[in-house]
Amino acid sequence: MAETVVIDVTGRMTIGHDAKVRDAIYAALDGGARNILMNMERVTKLDSSGIGELVAAHTTVRGRGGRFLLVGLSERLATVLQITNLLGVLETFDTVDSALEALGALGVPAAPEPDAG
């Protein structure tokens, strides 16, 4: 597996709907990925459970020596992360290409897309 994996998330990251995202992250890490880039462009809702999953993923990836990056946050999602003081903790980028460029990993294949709900 590539060192960096892009995970495109669609739907809701809410209680009861975030297990597929978690499973995709751990599958990528267990498959040898070091960095996880989560494309959030099509996330429609994020609640405290979804925020918890982001924090857990960030902690896990960093603990394994990698980077966890979020891409394509809507204004609403960015506001939620700002209010929770996570916007300065989590690495965020406007586009997948800008995040991959920051990692020096242009041309990375995307992982299968989990439907959060």
Query: Helices 19-30 & 48-63, crossing angle to 10 degrees?
Result: 10
Predicted TM-score (pTM) of the model is: 0.84
Q: Is pLDDT at 115 greater than 90 in this prediction?
A: no
Summarize the confidence of residues 91-114 as an average pLDDT.
75
Look at residue 11 in the predicted model and tell me its pLDDT: 92
Q: Is 84 exposed, middle or buried (0-12, 13-18, 19+ CB in 10 A)?
A: middle
Q: Is pLDDT at 93 greater than 60 in this prediction?
A: yes
How far is Cα 86 from Cα 83, in angstroms, rounded to an integer?
Answer: 8
* Domain boundaries defined on the chain: 4-103
Tens of pLDDT along 25-64? Answer: 999 999 999 999 999 999 999 999 999 999 999 999 999 9
Per-residue confidence band for 2, with pLDDT thresholds at 50, 70 and 90: confident
CATH 3.30.750.24 at 4-103, yes or no: yes
